Amino acid sequence: MVDEHGDFDVVTDVEWVPIDQQVYDLDVDRTHNFIANGIVTHNSIYKFRGADFRNLLKFEEQFPEAVTVVLDQNYRSSQRILDAANAVIENNASHRPKHLWTDRGAGEPIVRYQGDDEHDEAAFVVREIHRLIDGGDHRYGDIAVFYRTNAQSRVLEESLVRSGVPYRVFGGVKFYDRREIKDALAYLRALVNPDDEVSWKRIVNTPRRGVGDTSVAKIDSYASGAGIPFPAAIDKATEAGVTGKALGGLRDLLELMDEAREAASGGVAAALEAVLSRSGYLAELESERSIEAQGRLENLQELVGSTRDFDEQVERGDFSGLAAIGGVGVGANAGEDVSHPEGLARVQAFLEAISLVTDMDENDPEASSVTLMTLHSAKGLEYPVVFLIGLEGRSVPARAQPRRSRRARRRAPPLLRGDHARRANVSTCATRGAG
């Protein structure tokens, strides 16, 4: 169930209760519950929501009089995709015999690509999208890209933006529009621009450090009266009338920013890691111990990976990625050494690159666009062409699952999601940045 804060209660145990009465559907957004005899019952297909697949496997044993109707005809995919699904399912230790078939014809072969890393993988996806569009048989809206976690979309989104491919994120928001990413970038913006009032107000109590609206209003009032920017007024919090826990929180924030400014001499990644660790942002998410918080942590790890990529590109003079978007190396003549920005100048270049990426991905919502989504969001949707990316063993399935379950599920996602397509492309990476 959803509590008053919009979070899910944790299912601690499941009890078998026979019900010999009518069952009524209860349509609650983002939940899987129904009412039986006045009892709100939890219903989900996900293990982390309390579902147990053994209930299905043992159903025939517990109800031998039940009649099983095998739904083996597929109306979406080509036979080649279904043959691949059949072959994969056959390797699972616990499954009911079923042979998927279709009358849609053999279809095109499944394409498998193994990239050197996530950037090579994204480049492959973009090349294939351009090839399909240029062929004239497809539009952007015919194409979908699936991945396991939202954090995996970052590199692909950047590649799509640089290549001018319109896209949308189904069931979520684009990487750089996610709350935790905006929070982290606000710290970096406040770091390089002490007068950025919007960023300072965003981070002043993020994560919570006891600085409430009343204290912020006092600083605002003092800044207006003294004719100084809001960030400068934070340093005058005592004169502004801020006391107690809020005053201590503001002093901690100023010390944190001083430390992050020093850490920036080691690169953008060093500055970001200092901010996330010293501020307590990561610790606060880790303490929540929820699926939603884990997703936000993965997004932040991916952002750290992005800053590391940026640092490495600048150091080796590779200006083909974010560094190029940020303007690093622009204006240098052939054969000349390109100056590598250091410290806060490098952080500024990174922020400029991110700002340009987010500006470039403003697409017409009515125009045809490639769809990005997680595997869990794909149920019930159909696309002529599907890319399944990030199919390494450490990414699919989730690492938190028991080993036997992982072995079975490692084979399952490609076939379950691949049968949403008439043409499938699957990809893995030899190495993938861990952030």
Three-state DSSP state, 68: coil
Q: Is the pTM of this model over 0.95?
A: no
For residue 412, pLDDT over 50 is answered with: no
Cβ atoms of residues 270 and 394 within 8 Å:
no
pLDDT of residue 43: 54
Q: What secondary structure letter does DSSP report for 294? A: H
- Range name among 93-102, 316-325, 380-389, 400-409 with the lowest pLDDT average: 400-409
254 pLDDT more than 70: yes
The predicted-structure confidence for 362-390, as pLDDT tens digits, reads as follows 666 668 899 999 887 877 788 899 999 98
pLDDT (tens digit, 9 = 90+) per residue, 40-81? Answer: 555 555 565 566 777 777 777 888 888 888 889 988 888 998
Q: Are 117 and 152 in contact (CB under 8 A)?
A: no
Does 340 or 240 have the greater pLDDT score? 240
What are the pLDDT digits (tens) for 110-159? 888 988 888 899 999 999 999 999 999 899 999 999 998 888 999 999 89
pLDDT of residue 70: 86
Task: Read off φ and ψ for residue 319, nearest 5 degrees.
Answer: -110, 40
3-state secondary structure string across 85-134: HHHHHCCCCCCCCCCCECCCCCCCCCEEEEECCHHHHHHHHHHHHHHHHH
Q: Mean pLDDT throughout 163-188?
A: 91
Grade residue 29 by pLDDT with cuts at 50, 70 and 90: low
- CA–CA dist 214, 200 (Å, integer): 16
| Average pLDDT score, the chain | 80
- Which pLDDT score is estimated for 435? 47
pLDDT at 33: 57
Q: Which of 54, 53, 32, 52 is nearest to 43 (CA)?
A: 32
